[in-house]
Amino acid sequence: MRAGQALSMVVLMAIGLAVTACNVVETNNQAEQAGGPPAGGPPPPPPHIMRAEMAEGDRLNTPMEGEALYSNRCGACHFDWGMGTNLITKQQLALGNPPTMGLLTNREDLTADYVKSVVRMGKGAMPRQTRVDITDSELEKVATYLGKGK
């Protein structure tokens, strides 16, 4: 690169920095006022979802229902914006299904046996879950919840 070209590059970079600095001063380096993203911006994220708390006591005979167990044991990956939900949504879209089918709780095609098989053996990016991760009695309740009694 010649000296003239290098000098031109330095001058252009200096102008770019100066323009950027002026914008920061104008906005006082603050985020836009509340009221939503600017036109054409991304949609706001969904509200934060809290996972259910585990009941005290014996996990082999837990009093918790399938929905609460699913929330606690599976929610980190399978609630909105979780890695599992994102991957399943991509698969469902490729099959021509709506994106809402990425959430396991919206699915009508799951059976309890299928859920138990995937949990214990893993599938794709989902690692297998041991009996320490989720006990057989907990898994039975989660599978019944997701399998909608099938």
Question: Got the DSSP string for the chain?
Answer: --HHHHHHHHHHHHHHHHHHHHHHHHHTT-PPPSS-PPTT-PPPPPPP-PPPPPPSS-GGG----HHHHHHHHHHHHHSTT-HHHHHHHHHHHHTT--GGGGSGGG-SS--HHHHHHHHHH-BTTBPP--TTTS-HHHHHHHHHHHTTT-
Q: What pLDDT does 56 receive? A: 85
Average pLDDT, the chain: 82
- Given its phi and psi angles, is residue 146 left (phi above 0), alpha (psi -120 to 50 degrees) or beta? alpha
> pTM for the complete prediction?
0.65
79-117 residue pLDDT tens: 888 899 999 999 999 999 999 999 999 999 999 999 999
Q: What is the pLDDT of residue 81?
A: 82
Question: 150 vs 76, which has greater pLDDT?
Answer: 76
pLDDT digits (tens, 9 = 90+) for 58-86: 888 889 999 999 999 998 899 888 899 99
